[in-house]
Structure 1
Amino acid sequence: MTNFSEDEIEFLRKNRSAAMITVDTAGVAKAARVGVALVDGKLWSSGTADRVRTRRLRRDPRCTLFVFNGTFLWLSVEATVTILDGPDAPELNLQLFRVMQGRATGPLTWFGSELDDAAFRTQMAEESRLIYEFEVVKSYGVVKAPSF
């Protein structure tokens, strides 16, 4: 389990939109929009082997996530990333997208199609999908509206 507060965990359960900030070889911060979710107490996101951010994370596994909800609430997560790209990556993606789509069973939506578990795993393998697992170093933000 990550070291998030109860309020941060509740915020992450409700909010999946984030920006992942990595650093290029010149030291310039680069942001990409990603989805995130807590899976069995671990913060995960999905990517592919050929993404630029994957290459950056293989060189330097540090990143910052900025999780937001479209209002003034937000959570910043400084983390070290482990890339899970072994033979179980399609199954790990299935687990992640079940959480992200709120579907414990049944087909998952993928670019307008409904895929059963076997077809979803095959699609993840064909896309060389992997999981970014975030080891939280520090988290901070405004995750709960103030009560007046």
Structure 2
Amino acid sequence: MTLSDAQIAFIKDNPSAAMITTAKDGTPKAVRISVGIIDGKLWSSGTQDRIRTKRLRRDPRCTLFIFDNQYKFLTLETAVTILDGSDAPEQNLRLMRQLQNRPTGPLNWFGHELDTEAFLQTMVEQQRLVYEFDVTHSYGMVQ
């Protein structure tokens, strides 16, 4: 499913989201994430050892709840592809540059400014990956 221009604009203006996956017993589990649009695809960052990564490897279905600070919201039902190949550090670099609106120069990472090489090395050390969300259904109050 393709996101509308209004949905894409809403996501770009409101990159905070709740990501809901399910435990083995079906219990919904929610965490706060940031999302970004890269080359028309919806991405977020994660790590190999996160519980949500393990859940998504078992069941790739996930719901995202994206919201503003008033009343608008966008709910996306998705299937997740985990991008964890050798290009994952560079993919995280692209995502963070977009999220931080810094096309060049250092990036902020947990309160520290990192140049490109240090950022890429940190991505390798943290075993960072990218969640790519394929939207199967959307609804909400976004115009």
TM-score (norm 2): 0.97
Partner of 1:4: 3
Aligned-partner Cα distance in 1 for 2:105–2:68? 27
**Displacement, 1:117?**
0.8
Supply the distance in 1 between the matched residues of 2:46 and 2:69 (Cα, whole angstroms).
23
What pairs up with 1:45-124 in 2 under 5 angstroms? 45-124=44-123
Alignment gaps of 5+ in structure 1: none
Pairwise CA RMSD: 0.8
SS of residue matched to 2:120: helix
3-state SS of 1:91 partner: helix
Deviation at 1:74, TM superposition (A): 0.7
Where does structure 2 lack aligned partners over 5 or more consecutive residues?
Answer: none
Tell me the matched-pair count.
143
- The alpha-carbon deviation at position 111 of structure 1 amounts to 1.1
Aligned position for 2:141: 142
Q: What are the Cα deviations for residues 6-57 of structure 1, in whole angstroms up to 9, with x where unaligned?
A: 1111101111100000011001111010000101110000011111100000
Residue 107 of structure 1: how far off its partner (Å) = 0.5
Structure 1 residue 140: Cα displacement = 1.1
Supply the distance in 2 between the matched residues of 1:27 and 1:112 (Cα, whole angstroms). Answer: 36
